[in-house]
A and B are shown apart, each in its own frame.
Chain A
Amino acid sequence: MARENWQVEHLLRRAGFGPSPTDLLRFAETPASVVVDHLIEYQRQPDDVDSYIGRAEYVSVTTRGGAFTPNTNIDDARQRWLFRMVHSERPLQEKMALFWHNHFATAYTKVAGAVGGVQATKMLAAKPGDLPGPLGQIELFRRHALGNFRNLLVDVAKDPAMLVWLDGRTNTRARPQENFAREIMELFTWGVGYYTEQDVYAAARVFTGWNLRQIPQRANNNDPNTYYEFFYNPNQHDASAKAFTFPIYADGGRTIPARAAADGMQDGVDFIAALARHPETARRLARKLWSFFVSELYAPDPAFVEAVASEYLSNNTEMKPVVRSILRSPWFNSPDMWFTRYSWPAEFVARAIREVGWTGFTVNTARAALVNMGQTLFEPPDVAGWELGAGWFSTGAMLARMNFATTLASNQRFNLAKAAGGSRVSPESLLDFFLFERLSPSPFDLQPYLELLAYVSTAPWTGSDAQVNAKTAGLARLVVGSSEYQFI
């Protein structure tokens, strides 16, 4: 199970959370194109990952004295998501959920401030069928992971967490609310530069009446069986015409016509359809997908942007053909692009666990460490999402990554020493075990390679259990905590 299928390894890091030792074995001889289909057509893989939570052969979760309640407790919801990143048979679905979470960045704290922690967790993370009420926002992202972007936008506009987060719940005829109206243009679709303040005012009126209601009314927010749901309130909808500076309709018409309040939801559907099919939205998504899948070191190739935008528009805003074309593209598959993306903290943590090992380790430890790395799941810093790329690597955040490597390496010391097996014969072979079998760092130049070797060889090599246990943990920490490991 050595690292031999580099193209597939690259694919698993980018379109998943890194290769586990099992993956390296399973895909050793498989062509990358087959693995692309395996990842993209994820509906063919089982969706039962949550049922493994609590089993000894998987990474653990930590409960605080009571039951594990990921639908109503945000820390448990975070643990469940991390568990899925580590173990899901559908890694690309989880990866896209993470992409959409950053794209439609919604933070728990504000939602909880409005409706309490139980309801806020339900809004963000409730699994369909577990409790009464609509599915949580992250489930929306899973459902639409490679679905239709226009439909995703419509569902996001009606999503309870979003209605609290960007104040749509208080968007009324008399007092239009601009928050969601602005961000759907600035951040969720085409970006600044294509609309005016007048468009923001008009868009706010489009979404008047897209509100929220509690079921049952005036229920106790702490009761997990109560919930909030989207509610179109025709009495609060501004039914007059809305004029924009850009085309809303295929015939070039820029005005959403006045219509009866009862039919007023069509305003929002028309508006979203116009944004979704606009070529600038297509290009902006293409650029974001370039940075996510292809590279953060090279600016998006204009030919890539046009090709992906055209794939998106010609497929009626469907994402599956778009992502498939990216993963099969020469840009993605160029070896020059390997290890040219800064890993997000959640990716770093999931990959480290998948590669170092998890038996006896709890994702709760990762949850706490992620705070210092700058990525608390369900708590992006603002609606623009996280500062990606080099922005992840402040000194404090890098220190947190090194310290997480330490925690994981300490925890897995004996598992690693056992797995190293025959590699304990010499410092060189022990180091080889980490660099070419167990872990998947980017290449080490000769000098840092020799420094790693010098670390293993600080005392004459005996291969004793004590020496192997110490150096095994030390090497896992040094490699996982190295700059070389921070790229995917």
Chain B
Amino acid sequence: MITRRQFIHDGVAAFTLSFAAPAFLSEIARAQGARSRSLVVVYLSGGNDSLNTVVPYRDPFYYSRRPAIAIPAGQVLQIGSDPAGKVLGLHPRLTGLHEIFNQGRLAIVQRTGYANSSRSHFQGTDIWGTANPGNTTGLGWLGRYLDTLPSPVDSLAGWNATRDTPRALAARTVAVPAIPDARAYSLSSPNGAVEALNERTAATRIASHVPSDRPHLSFVNGSVRAALETLDRVASVNLYAPTVTYPNNGFAQALRTVAGSIARGIGTRVYWVQTGGFDTHSGQGNAGGGRYGTLMGTLGDGLLAFHNDLRNQGLLSDTLVLQFSEFGRRISENGSAGTDHGAAGVMMALGGGVRGGIYGSAASLDPNPGNPTLENAGADVRYETDFRAVYARVLDGWLGADSVALLGGNFRPGAPAII
């Protein structure tokens, strides 16, 4: 039998701390450099079919292995050829990215991945998150970066514009808020005026308790505190009036929220945006139509709106967008006019500081098992650039961090000079 006294834990035994919310959070943000650079990571969830994103439209095997879903050569958006001389084109619905490419602000890194690529969504996503193919359960590469920021770390140093916190943002000391839409990020009360304020004060104080014997409770209290501390500043983003019209879909609206946060000088270093549906096992379609065309349209149109909005406000030079997916897909289409899980994929970087162009060499799609650019008996594309080399370039060259320490190894040699 448990008594009421036992139920209310004895306050003497419990080691408690109070976290007072800093009075001038925005000053902390400024001290950390509100005009500092921000990184916007765009994750295409499900395993993007990179061969239909960046199309090797003169490779005869591309057409023989994808009779139903190959993009006709006449419809690709031409971007020239890669350093090895392979001619490439973008998916016809990527008109937005094509425009940015032509302005020299889009870098395409072909055949990114790692040895023994996981074909599992979940393991693959975790590997890209931890940046460690040998450990899929640790902290994330961006979380480890946030952990290096000087204390106290502003509660909006990271901004996750999707609902669930991805592995990449898992940090030891920094709780990254999830704010897919600033307009839905508000607190309601059953009572009005003074009572509502009393409640918010009580909620803040209750959550300031750190029960060291119940770390899980401390963790959830951390989420409550982070929510309450960030509410008012996030509310200021609600008033943001963009300079362009964003498409009406979740991805573009998340980018709109990110642009608002950048324009308001919130001081966030790392944003996370994602868009799903890339697990195209069936009905991909070929040129403009089909599911894959819709995905490409969403991606390209959203990023173009974001790019133009920031450019119009002179903010493009402070912003770097980095796009990735957990794996590429099989070269040969399956019987459902789709593609199954494959290996290496494509990464892209976009922004004012980007050196545009095509990096890395395209694979030859010749199914001959001896083809060195493929793996799995000619079924999948073999990686050429380790994805951690791209991370290293971003950490060192953009965020001013030490990639060797954060990635647990030196991936600088061979890193593409995208920025």
How many Å from the CB of B361 to the closest CB on chain A?
Answer: 25
Q: Is B209 an interface residue (CB 8 A)?
A: yes
In the complex with contacts A395-B175, A396-B180, A445-B209, A387-B335 CB distance below 8 A: no
Question: In the complex, are the beta carbons of B221 and A483 less than 8 A apart?
Answer: yes
Bound CA span A172–B336, Å: 9
Question: In the complex, are the beta carbons of B119 and A413 less than 8 A apart?
Answer: no
Nearest A-chain residue to B205, judged by Cβ: A451
In the complex with contacts A395-B179, A397-B178, A403-B188, A447-B165 CB distance below 8 A: no
Nearest B-chain residue to A208, judged by Cβ: B335
Question: In the complex, are the beta carbons of A446 and B14 less than 8 A apart?
Answer: yes
Question: In the complex, are the beta carbons of A483 and B224 less than 8 A apart?
Answer: yes
Q: Is A249 an interface residue (CB 8 A)?
A: no
Question: In the complex, are the beta carbons of A402 and B187 less than 8 A apart?
Answer: yes
Bound CA span A113–B334, Å: 19
Question: Which of chain B's residues have a CB closer than 8 A to the CB of A383?
Answer: 121
Question: Which of chain B's residues have a CB closer than 8 A to the CB of A423?
Answer: none
Question: Which of chain A's residues have a CB closer than 8 A to the CB of B205?
Answer: 448, 451, 454
Bound CA span A12–B178, Å: 31
Q: Is A136 an interface residue (CB 8 A)?
A: no
Question: Which of chain B's residues have a CB closer than 8 A to the CB of A382?
Answer: 45-46, 121-122, 276, 279
Q: Is B199 an interface residue (CB 8 A)?
A: yes
Bound CA span A449–B190, Å: 20
Question: In the complex, are the beta carbons of A396 and B281 less than 8 A apart?
Answer: no
How many Å from the CB of B360 to the closest CB on chain A?
Answer: 25
Interface string of A412-434 (1 = CB under 8 A from B): 01000000000000000000100
Question: In the complex, are the beta carbons of A170 and B223 less than 8 A apart?
Answer: no
Q: Which of B123, B164, B219 contacts A387 (CB 8 A)?
A: B164
Question: Which of chain A's residues have a CB closer than 8 A to the CB of B7?
Answer: 435-436, 443-444
Q: Which of A197, A395, A436, A458 contacts B177 (CB 8 A)?
A: A395
Bound CA span A393–B198, Å: 24
Q: Is A478 an interface residue (CB 8 A)?
A: yes
Bound CA span A478–B191, Å: 12
Question: Which of chain A's residues have a CB closer than 8 A to the CB of B202?
Answer: 451-452, 454-455, 474, 478
Find residues 162-206 in chain B having any chain A CB closer than 8 Å to their own CB.
Answer: 163-165, 175-180, 184-191, 195, 198-199, 201-203, 205-206
**B interface bracket (residues with beta carbon within 8 Å of A):** 35 or more
Question: In the complex, are the beta carbons of A448 and B209 less than 8 A apart?
Answer: yes
Question: Which of chain B's residues have a CB closer than 8 A to the CB of A394?
Answer: 160, 163-165, 176-178, 223
In the complex with contacts A443-B9, A445-B9, A447-B209, A484-B190 CB distance below 8 A: no
Q: Which of B14, B163, B220 contacts A486 (CB 8 A)?
A: B220
Question: In the complex, are the beta carbons of B282 and A446 less than 8 A apart?
Answer: no
Interface string of A172-209 (1 = CB under 8 A from B): 10111111001000100000100001001000000000
Bound CA span A407–B201, Å: 19
Bound CA span A384–B164, Å: 14
Bound CA span A414–B165, Å: 38
How many Å from the CB of B29 to the closest CB on chain A?
Answer: 17
Find residues 286-306 in chain B having any chain A CB closer than 8 Å to their own CB.
Answer: 291
Give the residue among A387, A398, A410 with the most B Cβ atoms within 10 A: A398
Question: In the complex, are the beta carbons of A397 and B16 less than 8 A apart?
Answer: no
In the complex with contacts A170-B335, A403-B188, A447-B160 CB distance below 8 A: no
Interface string of B298-336 (1 = CB under 8 A from A): 000000000000000000000000000000000000111
Main secondary structure of the interface of A (DSSP, over half): helix
Question: In the complex, are the beta carbons of A170 and B219 less than 8 A apart?
Answer: no
How many Å from the CB of B261 to the closest CB on chain A?
Answer: 14
Bound CA span A178–B1, Å: 55
Question: In the complex, are the beta carbons of A390 and B177 less than 8 A apart?
Answer: no
Bound CA span A103–B16, Å: 39
Interface string of A338-374 (1 = CB under 8 A from B): 0010100000000000000000000000000000101
Bound CA span A452–B179, Å: 28
Question: Which of chain B's residues have a CB closer than 8 A to the CB of A340?
Answer: 216
Question: Which of chain B's residues have a CB closer than 8 A to the CB of A473?
Answer: 190-191
Q: Which of A4, A6, A396, A451 contacts B206 (CB 8 A)?
A: A451
How many Å from the CB of B338 to the closest CB on chain A?
Answer: 7
How many Å from the CB of B278 to the closest CB on chain A?
Answer: 11
How many Å from the CB of B306 to the closest CB on chain A?
Answer: 21
Bound CA span A382–B231, Å: 30
How many Å from the CB of A294 to the closest CB on chain B?
Answer: 14
Bound CA span A413–B192, Å: 14
Q: Is B51 an interface residue (CB 8 A)?
A: no
Pairs A-B, 4 closest by C-beta atoms: A175-B335, A446-B11, A394-B178, A170-B336
Give B contacts to A, CB under 8 Å.
1-2, 4, 6-11, 14, 16, 45-46, 118-123, 160, 163-165, 175-180, 184-191, 195, 198-199, 201-203, 205-207, 209, 211, 216-217, 219-221, 223-224, 226-227, 230-231, 276, 279, 281-283, 291, 334-336, 338, 340-341, 376
5 pairs across A/B with beta carbons < 8 Å? A167-B282, A178-B281, A394-B163, A402-B227, A477-B189
Give A contacts to B, CB under 8 Å.
4, 6, 113-114, 166-167, 170-172, 174-179, 182, 186, 192, 197, 200, 297, 340, 342, 372, 374, 381-384, 387, 390-391, 393-399, 402-403, 406-407, 409-410, 413, 432, 435-436, 442-449, 451-452, 454-455, 458, 470, 473-474, 476-478, 481-484, 486-487
